[in-house]
A and B are shown apart, each in its own frame.
Chain A
Amino acid sequence: MTKQTEQKDTSAQFALNRRQALQLGGGLGFVATMGLGAKPVFAQDEDTLTIAIAGDLGGWDQDYLAFDLIGLAVMKNTYPYMLDYGVREVDGGQIQDTETVVPTFAESWESNEDGTVWTLGIRQGMRFPSGNELTAADVKWSKDRAFAAQANVAGIYRIIGLTEADQVEVVDDYTVRFHQSQPSAMTSQIQIISLYVFDSQLVQEHATTDDPWATDWVNRNPPLGGAYNVVGYEPGQEIVLEANPDFPLGEPPVQRVRLPIIPAAANRRLLLQNGDVDIALGLPRRDIDDLRSAPGITVISAPSNEFVFVPMSTVTPPFDNPLVRQAMAYAVPYDQIIASVYNGDARRSTSPVPLDMPGHSDAGYPYAHDPDQARALLEQAGLADGFDTSIVIVTDNVEQERIAILLQNALGEVGGRAEIETVDPATLQQRRRDRTIPLQVASGQMWVNDVEYLLSVALTEGGFLNYANYDNAEVNALFGQLNGLLDPVARQEIFMRVQEILAEDVPWLVLCQPNFGLPVSGSISGWVQPVDGLFRLRYLER
């Protein structure tokens, strides 16, 4: 017994020593880890800006990248773009002006008299980081590549009558002509989107017989020569950009921009609050509202062209009846949606043509919340007993969810019964294509701020974004008339007539245009609200 006790004592002594040793070792490890890791996480100096983004980009080849807003935004800053929008001031904030074209790497941009031939003059002496000069040959090669890809640029060029590579002509080293098959009022806007240029000599060095356009190489190697150059890229982790001192409009004020990829919105917010990042992109509206009162943080607000709407399938009962669609327009509690979903920080939409789009008219949507009128119209449509339907929203979208609940209640008020269906993005796109969505909450911004473009992609038969499956013969005919028409007065008349028809037909419930809110650390200024959702870093200062 005694012996056993002694043994236990010994082992206790041993255990104590081991524990002490472990504590000591663990403590040292902890101290070392904490001490060395406690350095500033992102270099915080005057010349560096850190912007938390939500995800990595899908690749570096802009000719193929679609629906990747992060990728496109980064590339907007790193590809040499020939043209860009101007900037105008609205309510103390700066937004892009789609009616002004600013040549960037280009020197001039002008058309012939009938608007079919556009001549691009390129600045002389502009060089890519490789040392190669940017010339007309680069522009031509880049657009030849886009036609060969038959993807993003080729799709949008079709709208302005550019369908073949030989419509792009090199006149001399610094002049390129675009020969359109017809004039278009949208040419400049579409070229602002499309005129990015590859360092063609460099890229061609990586072309192979199997891959003549070097798609593999381009997809892996960040483009260089824009307002910023990519100097670091750790996939999934961070993109680092450095200002291009030779940017034609002047070297961007911020020398270095770090874009750490932080998927969780809660963490992007935390990093901003802790001062580890200067800007947090893509925060939910509730977080942005909370941050308005956070110390050291400013929320930049700007009117936005993003619009929120509810397409009603015009081929699906009961919404194939215009009376029902009108009833829906009366049933929606617009002010309540703006107040409770957007905390009042949104503008009420008054037409399917977004506010601020040239040609917008309040006549496009003469509806207000009026449940009695809605009930009367439903009765007239033979639906006095109500109807069943479903509202489809996409997963992980709190705003859509809240709107859908308010719509569900509003429908209930007038006798409708709606079920809310949440689907993932792929299913949503499939169902849109299969035309199996009666009601859906949607939002977006038109990349080309023009009614003709809106009609082409969203309100005529065959349009990829025509979620309402809308097909009105007169609207189609008016859209046809816009094709090639440059006279602003004649265009305006057509825009008005289209909106009158849309007001009768009501393919969409148009809800609102939420203002853009961007929480930034107090020292940041210069934000210019992009009309295409793609930030321009060159305006930012700290």
Chain B
Amino acid sequence: MRLTRYIVRRLLLLIPVLIGVSVLTFVLIRVLPGDPVLLIVPETATEADIQQARERFGLDQPLVAQYLTYLGDVLRGDLGRSITTNTPVAEQLARRVPLTLELIVYAMGLALIIAVVGGIYAARRAGRPSDHTARVVALAGNSLPEFWLGLVLVLIFYQALGWAPPPAGRISPLFSVPPITGFITIDTLLQGDLPAFFSALHHLMLPVLTLAIVITAPLLRSVRASALEVIDSDSYRCAESHGLKDRVLLFAYLFRLTLIRLPTLAALVFGNLLGGSVLVEYVFSWQGLGQWALRGLLLRDYPVIQAYVLVVATFYVLVFLIADLLQAALDPRVEV
């Protein structure tokens, strides 16, 4: 009950956050130089044509009136229509969010596994060559620009070795997968199409690896530092000196205590990934949220940018809520 109240309270916080974010976004993108109408009218357009196009999108109205119309529409569940493509923004979001989520969930999962295993491994061998190697490798991964790293992985695994598929989307065009959830690995499994599932995994391989390499370093360093603290703690030493089994030491003491700090950092990294995957999406022809938002920004497609910011804000709030709940579950000192 207490937990439910906490969750509801945190979710209610979303309302002021989203209103604040929507006002800020609405004003800021209109302050930027650039008029979307000038990018959609034909080259024969006259002043009257430009004005007419502006009226078509309600851009001739005063800013406050535009915002109130927008807010009213959003409350009715209508995120508006893209100015450049004339399609409902909600429809485009529904198509693109799963693409990006699938990519970043796998990348985050892979990065967490590497960080936890590598971090604890390095901490238990602190100061030894394997510790230094793990840290240097992670740091190197973090230092590489993801755009460059993605291209290099494509060159190595697609062009040179022929192990990876071309960076041309989520699945081989030989397969046709009608969307159910939008998550292609899930949809292929739901449809029982194993070859398509493996093709989807194959296509996920390099983009997931690229993102994972880039985000592993901060996670690994955090895990290693936490693990070192635990190893140096009285309780761990005590447990060790009492001759507890290595497995018990590892899982009951080191593993659990080390992970206490992880959810907050992981939430931050994961939240950043939603917007930060744009370059990887570009390199791997992944038509996700990032590419869509970038195009919207370049063309000043106001409804697209507004919707994107709302989604990202909601995502952040939810991710941090989950992180806080996880932390509370891991650390009895934290109360919700």
| Neighbour of A270 across the interface among B39, B158, B170, B287, CB < 8 A | B158
Residues on A with C-beta less than 8 A from B158 are: 270, 274
B163-202 contact mask (Cβ, 8 Å, vs A): 1 or 0:
1011111101110000000000000000000010011011
Please determine whether A37 and B42 come into contact, CB atoms closer than 8 angstroms: no
Per the 8 Å Cβ criterion, residues 209-256 of A in contact with B are: 215, 219-220, 235-238, 240
With an 8 A cutoff between CB atoms, is A387 at the interface?
A: no
B-side interface residues, number (CB < 8 Å): 59
Residue of A nearest to B243 (CB): A4
A245-274 contact mask (Cβ, 8 Å, vs B): 1 or 0:
000000000000010111110110011011
Distance A237 CA – B155 CA, assembled complex (angstroms): 21
Distance A281 CA – B202 CA, assembled complex (angstroms): 26
19 more CB-based (< 8 A) A-B contacts, given A260-B169, A264-B283, A430-B35: A14-B247, A33-B202, A36-B202, A37-B172, A37-B201, A41-B174, A61-B86, A155-B42, A235-B287, A236-B96, A261-B285, A263-B291, A264-B167, A274-B158, A425-B299, A426-B33, A433-B38, A457-B44, A465-B43
Residues on B with C-beta less than 8 A from A155 are: 41-42, 44-46, 49
B48-75 contact mask (Cβ, 8 Å, vs A): 1 or 0:
0100110000000000000000000000
With an 8 A cutoff between CB atoms, is A7 at the interface?
A: yes
Q: List 23 A-B pairs, Cβ < 8 Å.
A: A33-B198, A41-B165, A52-B168, A67-B42, A155-B44, A156-B42, A158-B44, A235-B287, A236-B95, A236-B169, A237-B170, A237-B285, A261-B287, A264-B151, A264-B167, A267-B283, A276-B166, A426-B34, A427-B33, A427-B34, A429-B38, A431-B33, A464-B45
Residue of B nearest to A52 (CB): B168
How close is B9's CB to chain A, nearest CB, in angstroms? 38
Please determine whether A271 and B34 come into contact, CB atoms closer than 8 angstroms: no
Residue of B nearest to A34 (CB): B163
B17-42 contact mask (Cβ, 8 Å, vs A): 1 or 0:
00000000000000011111011111
A-side interface residues, number (CB < 8 Å): 69
With an 8 A cutoff between CB atoms, is A151 at the interface?
A: yes
Interface centre among A58, A61, A273, A465 (most CB of B within 10 A): A58
Instruction: Given A39-B174, A237-B287, A426-B298, decide whether A150 and B44 contact each other with a Cβ distance below 8 A.
Output: no
Please determine whether A152 and B282 come into contact, CB atoms closer than 8 angstroms: no
Residue of A nearest to B199 (CB): A37
With an 8 A cutoff between CB atoms, is B335 at the interface?
A: no
Per the 8 Å Cβ criterion, residues 57-106 of B in contact with A are: 84-87, 95-96
Distance A431 CA – B170 CA, assembled complex (angstroms): 39
Please determine whether B84 and A58 come into contact, CB atoms closer than 8 angstroms: yes
Please determine whether B203 and A263 come into contact, CB atoms closer than 8 angstroms: no
Distance A429 CA – B45 CA, assembled complex (angstroms): 13
Distance A220 CA – B282 CA, assembled complex (angstroms): 24
Residues on A with C-beta less than 8 A from B203 are: 37
Residue of B nearest to A155 (CB): B44
Distance A267 CA – B167 CA, assembled complex (angstroms): 7
Residue of B nearest to A150 (CB): B52
With an 8 A cutoff between CB atoms, is A392 at the interface?
A: no
Residues on A with C-beta less than 8 A from B49 are: 150-151, 155
Interface centre among B52, B168, B205, B283 (most CB of A within 10 A): B168
Please determine whether A264 and B41 come into contact, CB atoms closer than 8 angstroms: no
Distance A49 CA – B217 CA, assembled complex (angstroms): 43
Residues on B with C-beta less than 8 A from A462 are: 46-47
How close is B1's CB to chain A, nearest CB, in angstroms? 40
How close is B56's CB to chain A, nearest CB, in angstroms? 9
Q: Is the interface of B mostly helix, strand, loop or mixed?
A: loop
| Neighbour of B173 across the interface among A219, A260, A433, CB < 8 A | A260
Residue of B nearest to A273 (CB): B159
Please determine whether B282 and A264 come into contact, CB atoms closer than 8 angstroms: yes
Please determine whether B87 and A59 come into contact, CB atoms closer than 8 angstroms: yes
With an 8 A cutoff between CB atoms, is B245 at the interface?
A: yes
Interface centre among A8, A219, A266 (most CB of B within 10 A): A266
With an 8 A cutoff between CB atoms, is A525 at the interface?
A: no
Please determine whether A235 and B35 come into contact, CB atoms closer than 8 angstroms: no
Please determine whether B300 and A7 come into contact, CB atoms closer than 8 angstroms: no
| Neighbour of B86 across the interface among A29, A59, A237, CB < 8 A | A59
Please determine whether A270 and B33 come into contact, CB atoms closer than 8 angstroms: no
Per the 8 Å Cβ criterion, residues 287-305 of B in contact with A are: 287, 291, 298-300
With an 8 A cutoff between CB atoms, is B246 at the interface?
A: yes
Please determine whether A66 and B40 come into contact, CB atoms closer than 8 angstroms: yes
Distance A66 CA – B172 CA, assembled complex (angstroms): 31
A147-187 contact mask (Cβ, 8 Å, vs B): 1 or 0:
00011100110110000000000000000000000000000
Distance A61 CA – B170 CA, assembled complex (angstroms): 27
With an 8 A cutoff between CB atoms, is B154 at the interface?
A: yes
| Neighbour of B151 across the interface among A67, A237, A266, CB < 8 A | A266
Residue of A nearest to B41 (CB): A66
Please determine whether B202 and A37 come into contact, CB atoms closer than 8 angstroms: yes
A123-161 contact mask (Cβ, 8 Å, vs B): 1 or 0:
000000000000000000000000000111001101100
Please determine whether B202 and A56 come into contact, CB atoms closer than 8 angstroms: no
A64-85 contact mask (Cβ, 8 Å, vs B): 1 or 0:
1011000000000000000000
